[in-house]
Amino acid sequence: MARTVPTNYILLLTFTLSESYMVAFITTVYEPHSVALAAFMTAFVVLALTVYAFRTSTDFTMKGGSLYIFATVLAVSSLILLFVRPDSILMLIYSAAGVILFGLYLIYDVQIIVGGGRYEITEDDFIIGALIVYLDIVMLFLHILRLIGAKK
C-alpha cells in the first residue's frame, strides 16, 4: 500500500494526524516553556545529526542489528519501569537512553534515505522514508521532553 497512489498519501495523512494528536495530548501535561525548550533542542539535534549523517564516511546502515537490540532492551525496560516511581533516577536514565537511541536511528534512517551505504531505500519508497524520519523526530522530541520537562 505504501506504493499505491493515492492510498499511500491518505494513510500517511491519517497516521500523521493521529500521531500529532497524541503528541499534542502528551504535551499538555508539561509546562509550556518545557515544551518550547524541548522543541528547540529537538530541532537543533535533528539538524546536527542530519548534517552528520550526510557528511560522515561511517556507514551507519550496517548498524541496524545493533539498533534493533538496543530498541528491544529499551522496550523491555519500559515495561519494567511501569512499576517505578515517575521521578526515579531510572526514568532519567531511560529517557537519556531513548534520546541516544532515536538519535542513532535518525542517522541510520537518513543514510538509508540518502543512499550510498550498503542498504538504501528506492525512490519509490518516499512515503516510507518520510514516515521513518518523522517517527524518529517525534520519538526524539518525546524523550527530550521527558528528560528536561517540568510537569504541571
Summarised one tens digit per residue, pLDDT across range 108-121 is 999 998 877 677 77
The full set of domain ranges for the chain reads 7-148
Alpha-carbon dihedral 131, 132, 133, 137, rounded to 10 degrees = 100
Asked if 18 and 129 touch (Cβ cutoff 8 Å), the reply is no
DSSP secondary structure letter of residue 21: H
Model confidence at 135, pLDDT cuts 50, 70, 90, reads very high
SS3 for 151? strand
Asked if 151 and 145 touch (Cβ cutoff 8 Å), the reply is no
Angle, helices 32-55/89-114, rounded to nearest 10 degrees? 40
Summarised one tens digit per residue, pLDDT across range 66-113 is 999 999 999 999 998 888 877 778 888 999 999 999 999 999 999 998
